[in-house]
């Protein structure tokens, strides 16, 4: 029997480009060499004959052996028109699709035959333009770099047409038919002492075998002056709805570190943008002097006059500092969020979205303060779980329903929260559960998640668990496999970036099960009961054999 596994590498998918390879991956599980044939063809209707024809575009053949994954490349001609095509691959005793009529498309008796559709497009390129800065001043030198890549990240090594234009569209520089080392073209442009201010444009055009591509990038030229000083607003990330005021500080320092003396105008507003008339949202303001740093306190009563405060609402605090010596104004801002409680609890993203009945399931939750800092002291987290179930019944339609459903609670659990705040919650899932509603409660703050049963036609499941964390190249990865039915041989495949690196099987019979055995006594008199305490992995089958050794001494 010939067993061949195939796949499409990630860079092939079901779309390819003229001038490139369409790649099919394979893996053989038989001891003898396997010869594979592949081709790409199109489907053309022959009006005169009244039937479809299937002319071949390209073919490829390869001979492969067990345990050596590989690729079969089908090179697409550069002059191939873009459109829909088809591919097929079979083993050495397989026939290609007959070039008779379209109905023959489904007449394939070979078990190990695969085919599919393919969309062919022209050799699209992506042009990239880089500049050493985003903003330039008069008299400076603009350095730029231009290159292009194909979809498979190969470099384009042809000629470039490059033009640099000012904001009025005047062409200031033009480079024709230029190329560079390994496809990268570098250039520069010296700006005049009095150039046009605004957005300048670098335009690039290339010509491939089938198409012309172009791209433009802008850079700015302006009279840019570094700010004399910097303004920072320091406030807590959140405040409670019960707090009477919002406290913080404003810091203003020169670029060389000295404090700034002046006046602060503090604005407090909502996070809303401009209204339909283009006006800023209403704000309240206070003013005070500053000498490098000044503290402030804004009453919640005053804030409520311009912003509605509720759990999750945000306010923006903007400080406008006017320097005393020059009357120069610069500003800084910060955002504060109102919360009803200082605590929060979240269900982490690494919690699975489905469960497999009969196999372990773990939910991960994190408790912290609103600013993500750890909670001080010893605390606990409570977990409430509701299970949903379906009960099939004969003639259920007579009752006006398709099936009988219901819910019931699982035992409430209380778990100590470690200093990290991250809690792993192991849940024993009933075999008849179809979904779970899980609620995590921490100091009155709740987080919920719905977990659905994973679909399985056979209602059997397999689960893989990586036993090692932070693996590095050259290390051995240990993987644990658990199943809900007896497994005698386990087939596995290791792949990366669309390439299969290993595909084989292991004997699953006789795998080690962790078993502990304890006796109530190390010695026993005849006809005296002896208690045996046994523990094993869930769903394990353990056989005990007792042998009596009688001493004649």
CATH of the domain at 61: 2.60.40.2950
Domain containing 322: what range? 229-335
Name all contacts of 459-462 with Cβ < 8 Å and 24+ positions apart: 459/357, 460/484, 460/485, 461/356, 461/357, 461/358, 461/359, 462/487
Q: What is the pTM (predicted TM-score) of this model?
A: 0.55
> What is the CB neighbour count within 10 angstroms for residue 451?
20
Domain count, the chain: 5
Whether residue 112 sits in one domain with residue 12: yes
Whether residue 101 sits in one domain with residue 8: yes
CATH of the domain at 255: 2.60.40.1940
Whether residue 263 sits in one domain with residue 198: no
- Gap between the Cα atoms of 344 and 335, Å rounded: 19
Whether residue 181 sits in one domain with residue 154: yes
Per-residue pLDDT of the chain in tens (553 residues, 90 and over written 9)? 344 444 444 334 466 777 778 887 766 666 667 788 888 888 888 888 888 888 888 988 888 776 666 778 888 887 788 888 888 887 755 443 333 333 333 334 444 466 778 888 776 788 999 999 999 999 999 999 999 988 777 788 889 999 999 999 999 999 999 988 888 999 999 999 999 999 999 999 988 766 788 999 999 999 877 678 999 999 999 999 999 999 999 999 998 889 999 999 999 999 887 777 778 788 999 999 999 999 999 999 999 988 888 999 999 999 999 999 888 899 999 999 999 999 999 999 989 989 988 888 899 999 999 999 999 888 999 999 999 988 777 777 777 777 778 899 999 999 999 999 999 998 888 878 899 999 999 999 999 999 999 988 888 888 888 888 888 877 888 888 888 888 888 887 777 766 667 777 777 765 555 556 666 666 667 777 777 777 766 656 666 766 666 555 4
Whether residue 13 sits in one domain with residue 117: yes
Name all contacts of 459-466 with Cβ < 8 Å and 24+ positions apart: 459/357, 460/484, 460/485, 461/356, 461/357, 461/358, 461/359, 462/487, 463/356, 463/359, 463/360
Whether residue 265 sits in one domain with residue 208: no
Three-class secondary structure of residue 6 per DSSP:
strand
Whether residue 110 sits in one domain with residue 7: yes
Q: Are residues 309 and 354 in contact, defined by beta-carbon separation less than 8 angstroms?
A: no
Whether residue 18 sits in one domain with residue 112: yes
Under DSSP, the state recorded for 102 is G
Whether residue 113 sits in one domain with residue 9: yes
- Gap between the Cα atoms of 276 and 116, Å rounded: 53
Last residue of a domain, one of 335, 370, 391: 335
Whether residue 308 sits in one domain with residue 265: yes
Last residue of a domain, one of 204, 221, 238: 221
Three-class secondary structure of residue 126 per DSSP:
strand
Last residue of a domain, one of 453, 480, 512: 453
Whether residue 358 sits in one domain with residue 326: no
Cβ-Cβ contacts under 8 Å for 93 (sequence gap 6 or more): 2, 110
Whether residue 176 sits in one domain with residue 243: no
CATH of the domain at 409: 2.60.40.10
CATH of the domain at 210: 2.60.40.1930
């Amino acid at each position: 029997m010939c067993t061949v596994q195939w796949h499409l590498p990630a860079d092939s998918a079901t779309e390819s480009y003229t001038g490139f390879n369409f790649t099919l991956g394979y893996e053989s599980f038989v001891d003898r060499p396997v010869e594979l044939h592949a081709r790409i063809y199109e489907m053309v209707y022959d009006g005169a004959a009244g039937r479809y024809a299937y002319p071949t575009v390209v073919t490829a053949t390869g001979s492969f052996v067990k345990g050596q994954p590989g690729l079969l490349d089908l090179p697409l001609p550069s002059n191939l028109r873009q459109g829909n095509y088809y591919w097929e691959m079979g083993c050495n005793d397989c026939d290609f699709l007959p070039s008779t009529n379209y109905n023959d498309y489904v007449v394939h008796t070979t078990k190990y035959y695969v085919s599919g559709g393919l969309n062919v497009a022209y050799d699209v390129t992506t042009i990239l333009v880089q500049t050493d800065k985003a903003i330039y001043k008069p008299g400076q030198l603009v350095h730029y770099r231009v290159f292009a890549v194909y979809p498979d990240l190969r470099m384009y090594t042809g000629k470039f047409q490059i033009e640099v234009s000012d904001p009025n569209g005047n062409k200031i520089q033009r480079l024709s038919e230029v190329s560079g080392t390994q496809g990268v073209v570098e250039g520069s442009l010296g700006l005049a002492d009095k150039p046009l201010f605004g957005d300048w444009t670098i335009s690039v055009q290339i010509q491939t075998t089938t198409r012309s591509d172009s791209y433009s990038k802008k850079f700015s030229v302006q009279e840019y002056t570094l700010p004399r000083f910097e303004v920072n607003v320091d406030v807590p990330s959140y405040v409670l709805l019960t707090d009477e005021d919002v406290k913080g500080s404003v810091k203003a320092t020169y670029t060389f570190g000295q404090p700034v003396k002046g006046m602060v105008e503090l604005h407090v507003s909502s996070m809303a943008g401009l209204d339909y008339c283009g006006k800023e949202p209403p704000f309240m303001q206070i003013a005070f002097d500053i000498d490098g740093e000044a503290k402030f306190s804004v009453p919640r009563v005053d804030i409520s006059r311009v912003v509605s405060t509720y759990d999750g609402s945000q306010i923006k605090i903007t400080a406008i500092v006017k320097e005393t010596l020059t009357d120069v104004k610069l500003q800084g801002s910060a955002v504060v969020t109102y919360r009803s409680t200082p605590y929060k609890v979240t269900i982490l993203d690494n919690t699975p979205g489905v469960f497999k009945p009969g196999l372990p399931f773990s939910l991960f939750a994190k408790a912290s303060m609103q600013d993500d800092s750890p909670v001080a002291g010893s605390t606990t987290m409570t977990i409430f779980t509701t299970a949903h179930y379906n009960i099939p019944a004969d003639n259920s339609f007579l009752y006006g329903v398709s099936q009988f459903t219901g819910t019931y609670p699982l035992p409430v659990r209380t778990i100590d929260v470690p200093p990290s705040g991250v809690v792993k919650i192991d849940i024993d899932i009933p075999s008849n559960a179809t979904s779970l509603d899980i609620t995590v409660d921490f100091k009155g703050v709740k987080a919920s998640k719905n977990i659905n049963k994973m679909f399985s036609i056979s209602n059997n499941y397999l689960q893989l668990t990586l036993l090692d964390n932070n693996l590095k190249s050259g290390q051995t990865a240990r993987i644990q496999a658990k199943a809900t039915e007896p497994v005698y041989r386990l087939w596995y495949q290791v792949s990366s970036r669309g390439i299969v690196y290993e595909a084989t099987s292991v004997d699953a019979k006789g795998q080690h099960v962790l078993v502990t055995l304890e006796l109530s006594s190390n010695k026993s008199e005849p006809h005296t009961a002896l208690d045996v305490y046994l523990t094993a992995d869930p769903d394990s089958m353990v056989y005990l054999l007792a042998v009596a050794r009688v001493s004649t001494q």
